[in-house]
Structures are given as structure tokens and as C-alpha cells.
Amino acid sequence: MVRREYRQRSVFEVLLPDGGKLCEPELSRIDEVLSDEDLIDLVQEALSRRSKRSCVAGRPGTPAEVVLRMLVLKHLYDWSFEECEREVRANLIFRQFCRVGCERVADSKTLIRLSHVIGPDVLTAIVARLVAIARQRRVVRGSRMRVDTTVVETNIHYPTDSRLLADGVRVITRTAKRLVEKLGEKGLAMRDRTRAVARRVFALALASRSVAQEKGQAPMKKEKVQARMKKLYGELMGQTRAVIRQAERVVERAGRLKTAEPVKQLEAAVGLVRRVLAQTKARVFKGDTHYPDKVLSIFESHTEAIRKGKAAKPTEFGKLVKIQEAEGQLITDYEVLPKRVPDGQLWVGSLERHQKLFGKPPRLAVADSGFASNDNEQKATQMGVRQVVLPRRGRLSPQRRNHQRQRWFRNGLRWRTGSEGRISALKRRHGLTRCRYRGQEGMQRWVGLGVIANNLLALGRAGGTKT
């Protein structure tokens, strides 16, 4: 049964009447913000959607207020679920902050299940409510806006065709064996080929290393190694096809099972491995390195290869995320893009979102050169933006050069660089370097909770309510 909060009197009110003074000032202000009834309502409504009778039946569950505060604390300090459980259980200050008091602390598995219920739409609404609170406290006025994009990596190893095939064989074999055990039919078995596949993957790794070390030497020897690699790839693909054929026979026999979830998982894995086979054949045997819609992970199939021009990391594997800010270090909106698009296509939507949140267009709107175009500047001016700062690339006309040398334009560019620092803080402090949640929806929850933690920290550092 969904509860709003614990109604029992806390031990801190009895034994520690001045326990609130032990808390850090920033955490005390965050505690004040999280006491907002609208924020708790959003989480309580999400928890009540788990079942039709969640609000009236069942044993009492973890209250909505506790769930919200524990998730905030987890992403505020970039803890794992296990670390969050341990810290809250052992620390009196965190118990008071999370409104747990003398009650039992929700364990990590319970917190994982509850976090899945709070979807991307709820997190977006929480961010909007925090922006409204910041407006009430005059932390932000909405007179300025800056937009930038970054890549949040998925939790995968570096993708190579051989390792992707090995992952696919392992997943298919494991899932198919479980189905065979459930079926219990004689004569139906799933041969385990993972060791044979692993040997070929290891041989391919050694061969590719020797090719990399012998650049500029002995062309005949290099061709010999490449021919051996093609042979190994052929054997590896043959083993993978044999596993797929066996898995398809298991799927045919499993049609009579009442639970279709394992069958769907096996069919999805077979589909992904077939795509990996096609892209491996195109690259190794046909020389096509620009195969469309490459599979980069069997486990995180939504992963994209994104090149942002970084010298230290030319290619990143994850999802493109838009971060939109106003003054006061407050992030007003974020978006995890399902497919990568040019930055310029995000400009108008960002202005519309800002106008919806604040009821007016910003006085200053700034972004980097990836957003710059004549259409974007004209649309921003038509929407009422007085100062549009979109620096152009390449060779500039004298008129454009003089325009970009104006003082207000240069001041806007200086303020824009703060978005790089905000993205860096999100990655270092709140874990947006790499997403540890699974799936596309997990990526949205990871980014959303990181943004919420950032905004609460900004509100905590801004001080109390301003009048």
C-alpha cells in the first residue's frame, strides 16, 4: 500500500531536539526544498500507478517522501544502491534527512524496484517544479538561456565484432538452456559452444594485435595475418549461426509455454545477433566500414557511436543529451535524444520550452557554433529574444565579424562557457560520465535524477527564501 510519509514520531524529536543543527547548511536547505507538497504528490502518484489497488490494499510500503529523498541522496553523492542503503542506515543525519527516523531503511533491491516506477515523465515534472521553486525564491528569473549537448556513455565494453558475437552466443545459450529445462522434452538440447567461440575470439585478439604492431613492415606477412583473421572470423560466424539454428528450434518447441517472456528475450537476442553477423560480414569480407545502424552492444542495444571532436576520446558510445540552463547554475530542461540529430535542430525547441517555463522569452539566448544558422537567429528574434549569440564557423564577412565583436556578443560568449563547467560538474559529481541504469528508459532516469540533484544543490547553495 502506498504511503505518503511515516506518521510515527521520530526518535530525533525526543532524543535530539536540536539534531537539525548537525546537518550541513546546504543539506538543510535541500531538506527544506524537498518538503514541498507538490514534489511529494508527483512521486506518490507515480507509486500509486503500480497497481489499481495500490492506495488501499497490500502491506504498507516505503513512503513516497522517503523514496524521493533516498534517490536524491543517492545521486547527490553518486552512490550505488547498496552504498545508499548502508549510508542511510548508519548515519543519523541521513536518517533524519530521508525522514526514516526509527523505521527500517528500504534495502537496495526495494529501492531499485521503486526507482523503476518513477519514469521520465515524473522526473521532467519534478525538474519543472524545482524551476518554479527557484523562481519563487528569486534564484532564477529566466532572462538568460544557454544550451549545449554532451554524450552520456552506456555501461558497455569497447565494441568489436568478435566480442559482440561472443556476447550474443553466451546470452542465447544461457536463455535457451533455461527454456529447455522448462520444457523438459527428451531429445531437445542446447549445445554449449561458448568455449569454442572464446578460443576464436582470443585468437582474433592476438592476430589483430600483431597487425597493429607490424605497420609499415613486411606487406606479405601482414596479408598472411589478415587472411588468418578472415578464416577465424569465418569459423566464429559459423559457430554463431549454429547456435542461432539451435535457438530457433527451441523457440518453435516453446510455443506451448504459458510464460512468453523468456521466449521473447530469446527471439530478441537472436535478432540482435543476426544484425551483428550482417555487419561483421560487411566489414570483414566486403570492406564496408560504414554499415548503417550498427549494433554496438547486445545488452544496451540503443547505444550509438558519437564523435564530438575530442582529442582524448574521438568516439564515445552512448546517447546524446541536451542540457539547457538559465542563470543561477539551474538546469531548466534536459532531453535524452533517441537518435542523434544535428545540434541546430534543438534550438527552437529549447526556446519554446524556456518560454513555457517562464512565460516569456529570454533576453539573452546563447549556444555554441553547432547551433548557429540564419534560420535559428531569425526564429529567436521573431520569438522576442533581444540578444541572440550564435557564433559562426569558418570565414566571416566583414559585417558578421563586426557583429560578433560587439561587447554584448562577447559577454554572451563568455557566459556560454559556463555550460561546459556545468556539464563537467554533472559528470564528476553526479555520475553523468557513464549511465549505470539499463535500457533507454534507464538512461532517461539516470540523467533526470542527476539533473534534479544538480538543481537541488544549486538551490541549497543559493541560500534561504528571498523576499
Q: What is the mean pLDDT of the chain?
A: 90
Pairing mode, if any, of strands 364-367 and 387-389? parallel
Q: Are 83 and 3 in contact (CB under 8 A)?
A: no
Report whether pLDDT(92) > 90: no
Lowest mean pLDDT among 7-21, 26-40, 148-162, 188-202: 7-21
Mean pLDDT of 264-269: 92
Residue 295 lies in a domain: no
Residue 5 lies in a domain: no
Residue 214 lies in a domain: yes
Residue 207 pLDDT level (bands cut at 50, 70, 90): confident
Q: Are 455 and 331 in contact (CB under 8 A)?
A: yes
Residue 464 pLDDT level (bands cut at 50, 70, 90): low
Residue 291 lies in a domain: no
Residues 310, 455: one domain? yes
Provide the CATH number for the domain around residue 372: 3.30.420.10
Residues 169, 231: one domain? yes
Residue 83 lies in a domain: yes
- CA pair distance 284, 234, nearest whole angstrom: 9
Question: Could you read off the pLDDT of 288-327 as tens digits, one per residue?
Answer: 888 988 999 999 999 999 998 888 889 999 999 999 999 9
Residues 328, 434: one domain? yes
pLDDT above 70: percentage of residues in the chain? 92
Exposed e or buried b for every residue in 211-230, given b needs 16+ CB within 10 A?
eeeeeeeeeeeeeebeebbe
Residue 293 lies in a domain: no
Report whether pLDDT(285) > 50: yes
Res 252: pLDDT: 85
Residue 168 lies in a domain: yes
Report whether pLDDT(60) > 80: yes
Q: Are 331 and 451 in contact (CB under 8 A)?
A: yes
Residue 20 pLDDT level (bands cut at 50, 70, 90): low
Residue 1 lies in a domain: no
Residues 270, 327: one domain? no
Boundaries of domain holding 114 = 11-118
Res 189: pLDDT: 81
Residues 176, 275: one domain? yes
Lowest mean pLDDT among 10-24, 179-193, 374-388: 10-24
Residues 387, 445: one domain? yes
Residues 97, 139: one domain? no
Residues 191, 138: one domain? no
Report whether pLDDT(212) > 70: no
Q: Which amino acid is at 291?
A: Y
Residues 271, 383: one domain? no
Res 103: pLDDT: 85
- SS3 of the chain: the string is CCCCCCCCCCHHHHHCCCHHHHCCHHHHHHHHHHCCHHHHHHHHHHHHCCCCCCCCCCCCCCCHHHHHHHHHHHHHCCCCHHHHHHHHHHCHHHHHHCCCCCCCCCCHHHHHHHHHHCCHHHHHHHHHHHHHHHHHCCCCCCCEEEEEEEEEECCCCCCCHHHHHHHHHHHHHHHHHHHHHHHCCCCCCCCCCHHHHHHHHHHHHHHHHHHHHCCCCCHHHHHHHHHHHHHHHHHHHHHHHHHHHHHHHHHHHHHHCCCCHHHHHHHHHHHHHHHHHHHHHHHHCCCCCCCCCCCCCCCCCCCEEECCCCCCCCCEEEEEEEEEECCCCCEEEEEECCCCCCHHHHHHHHHHHHHHHHCCCCCEEEECHHHCCHHHHHHHHHCCCCEEECCCCCCCCHHHHHHHCCHHHHHHHHHHCHHHHHHHHHHHHHCCCECCCCHHHHHHHHHHHHHHHHHHHHHHHHCCCCC
Res 219: pLDDT: 66
Report whether pLDDT(11) > 60: no
Q: Are 180 and 190 in contact (CB under 8 A)?
A: yes
Provide the CATH number for the domain around residue 195: 1.20.120
Residues 149, 167: one domain? no
Q: Which of 252, 284, 316 is the last residue of a domain?
A: 284
Mean pLDDT of 284-290: 90
Q: Are 432 and 447 in contact (CB under 8 A)?
A: yes
Report whether pLDDT(14) > 70: no
Contacts of 62 (CB under 8 A, 6+ apart): 3, 106, 110, 111, 114
Residue 259 pLDDT level (bands cut at 50, 70, 90): low
Residues 234, 315: one domain? no
Question: How many structural domains comprise the chain?
Answer: 3
Residues 269, 406: one domain? no
Q: Which of 250, 284, 318 is the last residue of a domain?
A: 284
